[in-house]
Structure 1
Amino acid sequence: IDLLKENIDGCSVFTLPAKKWHWRARTAALYFSQTIPVCSSYRVLFSSSVLNLCELVALRPDLARLKKVLYFHENQLAYPVRKDQERDFQYGYNQVLSCLVSDAVAFNSRFNMESFLSSIGSFMKKIPDHRPKDLDQLIRPKCVVLNYPVQFPDVSREHDKNPELFFNTLIKLKEKQLDFQLSVLGETFTDVPEIFSSAQQLLQSNILNWGFLPSKDQYLKVLCDADVVVSTAKHEFFGVAMLEAVHCGCFPLCPKALVYPEIFPDQYLYSTPEQLCKRLQELCRRPDLARKAGYRQIALLSAEGT
């Protein structure tokens, strides 16, 4: 949004704070219908897929006449839940409906786009009867991939990033008496996985930095001082934090899944927890492998080429 504001004259921005997203998905349309002024010069309506676009344009027919662009930074059809019964049908259903009323649908990665479109059919089978058909065929012609522009935002801690695998792997390295130093950066929210507190105690002697850093410069300095950056995500529709770290010179290790094969060559991907542990053991013993010149350009060129 900041990038659009900087590069598009006459861009009006209407937002809500990035918290309580469940309520944003349910109620933001009504709020924005009362907040966005009637303006004859508006030509394009660019909205996040968290917004129920159907409700907004129904409440505001003047906005319905604009070219409507829907942007997906994630999608609720592929978003991981611990149990499928926990998935709230309405969030995904709202995103499908928003696509149907949009003129263009932009995704931040091909993985995001394909995981959404390929899931629509099975998702709609949850409806007990009178199910709609072929919705993916109606939506696909509108779809484009518009990679996210990396601008070094702060990172956050969530269960879908699989901190258990990350910390359990580091604990195994420590048990093998391998030498490493650890920085865990990110803002702390109210629901922090339990593994964070136990891992902090077990890995205390290896920790260089832990928690939220108050300035972007401090955050970037930690990345620039690091040799390796690890992702253990079970969910990632783009992977901004990994690209930030690679931009700062870190050697990336990512799952061979989700969006990562779009961005990184095979030598930076692992398929199993055992492979991740093996790669990290090797880098602990041979840190020079992570410090060799050349991999930065390979990884970044791969990202820029998508």
Structure 2
Amino acid sequence: MRQRILLLSAYQADSHAWWTGWLQQAFPDTDWRLLTLPGRHFRWRIRGNPLSWLDEIATASQGVDRILATSMVDLATLRGLHPALAAIPTDYYFHENQFAYPVGPGQRPSVEPQIVQLYGALAADRLLFNSEWNRSSFLDGVAALLRRMPDAVPAGIVERLAPKTAVVPVPIVPPAPGRTSRDARLILWNHRWEYDKAPDVFADAVIRLAESGHAFRLALLGPRPHPPPPALSRVVDALGDRVIANGRVPRGEYDALLHRAGIAVSTAIHEFQGLGMLEATAAGTTPLVPDALVYPEQYPAAYRYPPGDAAALADRLAAWLTSAPPLPPAVDAYTTEALRPLWSQIVGRSALPRSAGHSSG
């Protein structure tokens, strides 16, 4: 009989949608029962998904062999409201963790999303992370939270969770070989224009780069809020004549720009895997990333700069524009071809190593 898996994605943002779609395409012999909720209203969504699914979950879970839920799912509450779910083996997949997610402007720190993920981790049979940084920052965050708890703290929580963990990245599909020639002076930004990607650091760096007399072009991709954020407006106002693309573009055009660009830049203060940078690197673009977060396990030191330092970023870009950027590092370990066997073990409920060992130095 076909294995039946209930796939729960409570915050179906772009990367989450790619992941759920890939699983269904890669393992068509599995009977996938998919429940999702739109990737918006985060605070309501992470706490309210058991209520949103109150009348659907019993039907969707009927006869399933396994549950695969993202860490946006309030798994402990779901199991409490629907006790039959507690008997079904469950994997809890962390695209991110709330212990290492930066608080944005105008937001107040809240322990509640962290508690949701901690209770979910305790309720699940296995905890899967898309990077070692994600795994370690989650466990460190749990330990820090418990140190803040004033009393009645149970012993050994991290020690109970750690043996259940494994690192299993979301796979990327390298863009098909392009017909566009490489432009070593084209700098690519392919991230959201939001606070957690620190676009102000990027804006400061490229404006400084232009003021120092360097010739370059810009492809400003990725979703952006309305009205445009100040960082994007600053770049366009100061360097509009250098911008060859500005906005979300169709996939074919996006892939062509990945093949055309010489350098892809990240200034993120939050990155648990960084699919956009991995895709650009797989297409042959040289990455330049902060020396923090997930990046040290993916890219050697030559491709990293001090995090948050716009002057250091501008200096590195200037050096690469003067003498050409180094060849991009290999990221073959993150492709669908490399990761499908590991995900096959997840889908087939095989034993997994504690870490998948995806490190480039």
1:45 aligns with 2:76: no
TM-score by length of 2: 0.77
More divergent stretch after superposition (121-130 vs 196-205) = 121-130
Q: Residue 5 of structure 1 aligns with which residue?
A: 24
Query: Offset at 1:221?
Result: 1.0
Rate the CA distance shift 1:143–1:188 in 2: closer, same or farther, 3 A: same
> Aligned to 2:31, what secondary structure does the other structure show?
coil
Query: Offset at 1:64?
Result: 1.5
Q: Contact 2:174–2:282 (CA<8 Å) still a contact in 1? A: no
Q: Residue 282 of structure 1 aligns with which residue?
A: 319
Q: Residue 150 of structure 1 aligns with which residue?
A: 172
Query: Offset at 1:211?
Result: 1.2
Mapped partners of 1:122, 1:27: distance in 2: 25
How far does the alpha carbon of each residue in 1:252-279 deviate from its partner, in whole angstroms, 9 at most, with x for none? 1111111111111121111252432221
Query: Offset at 1:77?
Result: 0.6
Q: Contact 1:264–1:302 (CA<8 Å) still a contact in 2? A: no
Paired AA for residue 37 in structure 2: L
1:220 aligns with 2:263: no
Q: How many residues align?
A: 299
1:300 aligns with 2:331: yes
Mapped partners of 2:197, 2:35: distance in 1: 29
How far does the alpha carbon of each residue in 1:142-169 deviate from its partner, in whole angstroms, 9 at most, with x for none? 1100011124798532211111111100
State which of 71, 78, 89 in structure 1 corresponds to 2:100. Answer: 78
Query: Offset at 1:119?
Result: 1.5
> Aligned to 2:331, what secondary structure does the other structure show?
helix
Aligned alpha-carbon RMSD (Å): 2.3
Task: State the structure with bigger RCO (CA 8 A, min sep 6), 1 or 2.
Answer: 2
Query: Offset at 1:84?
Result: 12
> Aligned to 1:227, what secondary structure does the other structure show?
strand
Unaligned runs of 5+ in 1: none
State which of 40, 59, 82 in structure 1 corresponds to 2:81. Answer: 59
Rate the CA distance shift 1:38–1:109 in 2: closer, same or farther, 3 A: closer
Q: Contact 2:266–2:290 (CA<8 Å) still a contact in 1? A: yes
Query: Offset at 1:195?
Result: 1.6
For 1:204-243, list aligned pairs within 5 A: 204-213=240-249, 215-243=250-278
Paired AA for residue 201 in structure 1: D
Mapped partners of 1:235, 1:280: distance in 2: 22
For 1:163-242, list aligned pairs within 5 A: 163-190=199-226, 193-213=229-249, 215-242=250-277
Unaligned runs of 5+ in 2: 1-19, 176-189, 339-356
Higher strand share: 2
More divergent stretch after superposition (148-157 vs 8-17) = 148-157
Query: Offset at 1:124?
Result: 2.6
Mapped partners of 2:165, 2:134: distance in 1: 11
